[in-house]
Amino acid sequence: MLKTVSVLVLDGLAPFEFGVICEVFGIDRSADGVPNFDFKVCGPEAGRPVRMSIGASLTPDHDFSALVGADLVAVPAISGPYPEEALDALRAAAESGSIVLTVCSGAFVAGAAGLLEGRPCTTHWMHADELARLYPTANVDRNVLFVDDGNLITSAGTAAGIDACLHLVRRELGSAATNIIARRMVVPPQRDGGQRQYIDQPIPVRCSEGFAPQLDWILANLDKPHTVATLAERAHMSARTFARRFVDETGTTPMQWVTDQRVLYARRLLEETDLDIDRIADRAGFGTATLLRHHFRRIIGVAPSDYRRSFACDAVAEPA
């Protein structure tokens, strides 16, 4: 159970990456049903400001000793060099059982502490080659939003830190808590990426006001059969014009978008209901459980039954 969270801050702290950690773990959302975290900001000395990278200062309330024993130690992006006492504290926290999560170039702090040796990890694509050069035993993956290696989670740049933080909340506290936090942050609980994550809410696209009703109608009628021709006819366009306009508006083809939304809806039904796989396939518009399983595994990366066992909000575990 994730209860205590400590954040390492040093001179050279990047405010956005620090803010991501604060937004996910530092705000009391117990009124919304999310367990409150005991959140501590830890610097070289309690009450002594550290300089951020933007010409401002931040004053931590705790020193490095508060890192050791925390369930989670989060490391935002921080430019080096790193004080040895900070690296010692980070090592001690990891050795005592803390999960270490880094955001963007925070992976370099973990590397300096010796935590990346022989481990899969990632960082911002601009810094991935340098990370691999400095820590040659680390298995740096340049093509993912984040890497979960159990007690070490590393994320790519900026917004990927949100993905990693929400993933950890989902892993430790379940999808219901994750959805609440993400909704308050106005971000998708999960995004598409190398980890085969996908968004929970079906309209994260920035489409024009005139085209949005077309997407709304499709989402309200996922159980119906759709083709480019029928969707174009409803939109009073030729099939060619509709297909071209759809790609311009959403970044993907009409039928791929429909399939993606059906999978997302099926995923939500797996999390929130005890419907069997045949009924979910019918409601989501796949028609057959076989077709649902095919597309679900292709997009999400696991079978529906495995996903339900991991993420069902009420411990639903019907065969799927």
Q: Output the average pLDDT for the chain.
A: 89
Quickly name the fold that domain 202-320 has: Arc Repressor Mutant, subunit A (1.10.10)
**pLDDT > 90? residue 317:** no
- Ordered by start, the domain boundaries in the chain are 4-185, 202-320
Considering only residues 12 and 215, tell me which one the structure prediction assigns the higher pLDDT. 12
Burial of 85 (0-12, 13-18, 19+ CB in 10 A): exposed
Residue range 103-128: average pLDDT? 95
pTM, to two decimals: 0.63
- Categorize the per-residue pLDDT at 151 as very low, low, confident or very high, splitting at 50, 70 and 90: very high
Query: Terminus-to-terminus CA distance in the chain, angstroms?
Result: 27
- Categorize the per-residue pLDDT at 206 as very low, low, confident or very high, splitting at 50, 70 and 90: low
Per-residue pLDDT tens digits for 276-294:
999 999 999 999 999 999 9
**CATH, domain 4-185, list 3.40.50.2300, 3.30.70.60, 3.40.50.410, 3.40.50.880:** 3.40.50.880
**pLDDT > 90? residue 60:** yes
The reply to whether 4-185 and 202-320 are identical in fold is: no
List, as one string, the DSSP characters of 206-253: ---TTTHHHHHHHHHTTTS---HHHHHHHTTS-HHHHHHHHHHHHSS-
Per-residue pLDDT tens digits for 164-199:
999 999 999 988 899 899 888 888 676 644 333 333
- Categorize the per-residue pLDDT at 50 as very low, low, confident or very high, splitting at 50, 70 and 90: very high
Q: Are 158 and 127 in contact (CB under 8 A)?
A: no
Q: Rounded CA gap, 165 and 10, in Å?
A: 20
pLDDT score for 293: 95
Q: Any residues with CB less than 8 A from the CB of 192 and at least 6 apart, and which?
A: 198, 199
Share of the chain above pLDDT 70, in %: 92
Catalytic residue, candidates 42, 104, 121, 207: 104
**pLDDT > 70? residue 211:** yes
Per-residue pLDDT tens digits for 295-306:
998 888 788 998
Annotation marks residue 104 as catalytic = yes
**pLDDT > 70? residue 316:** no
